[in-house]
């Protein structure tokens, strides 16, 4: 548990990555009460400096005793590293907010989106999991609809940007695009196929049931966060040649009938959501416009005329912010609010 103080010693693990970078700037922008910041990455980055509030902070490699004196550690260094280091950090008395997939489905670990289930922070044992980026933006929108009309089933298709995979993938999209425009041969290192000018129905590994891990995260994490295992979810997750922001097409079947206007009103009043829906003016959420924003944007709200109680919509959020760094910092903000 965190003791109430005026300011806290905060660590970012995976500080040199795409998400880690965003964590540092999110802490700055939101003026998180930081007494001291410690930045960690692999030995590859040891000795490099990163800026925080105008100061140069050295990047350190992780050691057994690295977490002494640290109050809160934000992790985004991949599941392998979280598996080893999050328990080490928790043992030394620091609270870990972990962005990897390692601890999300562990029954001992709360999986939290502040707009949906802040109450679950009360039972943490030193590690709190930050959900998958595609799941976060979806549950922010599903929760108010579930409260108003009880969701029976969701069919989701995602259009995910390359920044979810990290910096290497952003470089690959840029390199392939310039290579193709210059009639050069392309190289595929990060994804199994060309991503520039292409669409890949494949995110994370394939499982025995024919789905990908990313698709099953959206099913399982949604039920755990909303705390209702009767909600049925089926997902198709797709990589598109976009740098930043994930888009999702949602088809939602509810127990109670809701008109599109009712849905618009409920979402407009819910936390973390902006309704951006004026088709007559070509207004709907677009990744290039939402990049860098904090909220989840919703448009194209319309009735599914093929079933009794169905609604279709299009949602977009910045996967590095609400999908990762911002959600983690918001969890840390709630933790210090609850501290005593």
List contacts with ligand 25A (CB under 6 A). Answer: 13-20, 40-42, 44-45, 62, 76-79, 81, 99-101, 133, 164, 166-168, 323-324
Which residue, 38 or 124, is less far from ligand 25A as judged by CB?
38
165 belongs to the binding site for ligand L14 (CB under 6 A): yes
Any contact of residue 133 with ligand L14 (CB under 6 A)?
Answer: yes
Give the span between the Cα atoms of 270 and 259, in whole angstroms: 17
Q: Is 247 in the site for ligand L14 (CB under 6 A)?
A: no
* Residue 122 vs 205, nearer CB to ligand L14: 205
Taking the complex as a whole, the smallest distance from the CB of residue 174 to ligand 25A amounts, in Å, to 13
- 167/287 Cα distance (integer angstroms): 18
Q: Nearest-CA neighbor of 276 among 295, 298, 296? A: 298
CB of 273 to ligand L14, least distance (A): 22
Is position 132 an interface residue for ligand L14 (rule: CB under 6 A)?
Answer: yes
Interacting partner of 160 out of ligand L14, ligand 25A, none (Cβ under 5 to 8 A depending on kind) = ligand L14
Contacts of 250 (CB under 8 A, 6+ apart): 138, 141, 142, 154, 155, 156, 312, 313, 314, 315
Q: Return the range that interacts with ligand L14 (CB under 6 A); candidates 7-15, 158-166, 249-257, 283-291.
A: 158-166
User: C-beta of 175: minimal distance to ligand L14 in Å?
Assistant: 17
Q: At closest approach, how far in Å is the CB of 132 from ligand L14? A: 4
Rounded CA-CA distance 86/88 in Å is 5
Active site residue 133: yes
Catalytic residue list contains 146: no
Token output for 66: 């690295």
Question: How many angstroms separate the CA atoms of 16 and 3, rounded?
Answer: 29
Q: Considering the complex, what minimum distance in angstroms separates the CB of residue 33 from ligand 25A?
A: 24
Angle of CA points 17, 315, 214, to nearest 5°: 50
- The token duo for 86 is 């999050």
Residues 28, 120, 204, 333: which binds ligand L14 (CB under 6 A)?
A: 204
Report whether 111 contacts 87 (CB < 8 A): no
Give the rounded distance of the alpha carbon of 1 from its chain centre: 24
Residue of 133, 146, 202, 245 marked active site: 133
Helix (H, G, I), strand (E, B) or coil at 68: coil
**Catalytic residue annotation:** 133, 246
Residues that bind ligand L14 (CB under 6 A): 101, 132-133, 160, 164-165, 203-204, 217
């Amino acid at each position: 548990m965190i003791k109430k103080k005026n300011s806290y010693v905060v660590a970012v693990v995976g500080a040199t990555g795409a998400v880690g970078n965003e964590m540092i700037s999110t802490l700055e922008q939101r003026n998180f009460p930081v007494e001291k910041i410690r930045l960690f990455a692999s030995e590859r980055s040891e000795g490099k400096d990163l800026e925080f509030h105008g100061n140069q902070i050295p990047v350190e490699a992780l050691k057994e005793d690295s977490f002494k004196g640290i109050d809160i550690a934000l992790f985004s260094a991949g599941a392998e590293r979280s598996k080893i280091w999050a328990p080490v950090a928790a043992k030394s008395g620091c609270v870990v907010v972990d962005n990897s997939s390692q601890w999300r489905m562990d029954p001992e670990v709360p999986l939290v989106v502040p707009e949906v289930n802040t109450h679950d922070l009360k039972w943490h044992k030193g590690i709190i999991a930050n959900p998958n980026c595609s799941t976060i933006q979806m549950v922010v929108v599903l929760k108010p609809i579930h409260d108003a009309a009880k969701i029976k089933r969701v069919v989701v298709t995602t259009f995910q940007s390359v920044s979810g995979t990290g910096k290497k993938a952003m470089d690959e999209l840029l390199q392939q695009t310039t290579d193709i425009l210059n009639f050069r041969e392309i190289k595929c290192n990060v994804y199994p196929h060309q991503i520039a000018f292409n669409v890949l129905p494949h995110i994370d590994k394939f499982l025995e049931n024919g789905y990908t891990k990313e698709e099953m995260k959206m099913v399982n994490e949604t039920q755990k966060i909303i705390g209702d295992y009767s909600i049925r979810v089926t997902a198709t997750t797709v990589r598109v040649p976009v740098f930043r922001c994930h888009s999702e097409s949602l088809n939602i079947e509810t127990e109670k009938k809701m008109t599109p206007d009712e849905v618009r009103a409920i979402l407009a009043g819910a936390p973390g959501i902006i309704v951006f829906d004026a088709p007559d003016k070509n207004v709907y959420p677009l990744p290039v416009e939402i990049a860098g924003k904090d909220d989840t944007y919703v448009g194209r709200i319309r009735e599914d005329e093929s079933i009794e109680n169905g609604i279709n919509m299009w949602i977009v959020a910045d996967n590095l912010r609400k999908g990762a760094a911002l959600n983690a910092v918001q969890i840390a903000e709630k933790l210090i609010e609850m501290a005593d």
